Structure 1
Amino acid sequence: MKDMIGYCGLDCEKCDAYLATINNDQALREKTAKLWAELNNATIMPEHINCEGCRMNGAKTVFCDSLCEIRKCALEKGVSTCGDCSEVETCSTVGAIISNNPAALENLKERTL
């Protein structure tokens, strides 16, 4: 199992914020900020697009660091990922991610092996 699986099961290594950070790619930061601002109807600037993974030490986007309810819940419960929680398949908090990205649930199941 890869270490870069987020609390929710998404693969951080495929996230544009992570890729922009590790590659110091300003163009990708700008593209990602524009897209995320439109998707979230929020002010998101290129300088906000820095993340080294939600379970890793280091930079995180504002959302991942302090707004993500999934991350908050996992930290409160003291689990490595949602896959370590007995409620993962019925949880409404992580449910939206899992329903839109079935690979996330598979990543979480693999993580618990």
Structure 2
Amino acid sequence: MNGTEEIGCCGAYCGTCREYLKTCKGCKPGYLDASRDLSRAKCKMKKCCLTRGHITCGDCGEYESCETIQSFLNHPGYKYGKYKQALEYIRANGHTAFLNTAEHWTGAYGKYPK
């Protein structure tokens, strides 16, 4: 998947997480190769996104009208705004541009080029 397994369906970026693939499996590893059972996943966004073959919810044609992702992104809190910003950036610029930007981050969020 060219590094896109580090982008969560919701827009979270796992690439800078110290626990990614240690204590946190992220939302894609194991489901993509069927070594984990997607039907047992608890996250509605992940089930929908991966079942439809998308990399993120932002890739879906129903993104703007989807109650599941929009209610998630509209939760109060800084991180939800950053997830939305990530998905909007991916929608406008693509996964490769997002990964190129995120590779310089030292935390879960970072700055985007103007």
TM range (shorter): 0.5 to 0.7
Which one has a bigger Cα radius of gyration? 1
Which of the residues 21, 28, 32 maps onto 1:55? 28
Query: What's the secondary structure of 1:74's corresponding residue?
Result: helix
Alignment of 1:103 onto 2:82: yes
Q: Is the 8 A contact 1:10 1:104 kept in 2?
A: yes
Equivalences for residues 1-113 of structure 1 within 5 A: 3=4, 4-13=6-15, 19-20=18-19, 50-57=23-30, 66-100=41-75, 101-112=80-91, 113=93
Q: 1:74 touches 1:81 (CA, 8 Å); kept in 2?
A: yes
Deviation, 1:7, is 0.2
Q: How far did 1:94 drift?
A: 1.2
Q: Is the 8 A contact 2:14 2:20 kept in 1?
A: no
The size of the alignment, in residue pairs, is: 78
Answer whether contact 1:97 1:104 (CA < 8 A) is retained.
no
Same amino acid, percent of matched pairs: 30
| Aligned equivalent of 1:40 | none
Give distance in 1, aligned partners of 2:50 and 2:19.
25
Paired residues of 1:21 and 1:51 also in contact (CA < 8 A): yes
Gaps of 5+ in 2: 32-39, 94-114
Tell me how far 1:109 sits from its aligned partner.
Answer: 2.1
When residues 106 and 79 of structure 1 are mapped into structure 2, their CA distance, relative to the original with a 3 A threshold, is same
TM-score, structure 2 as length reference: 0.53
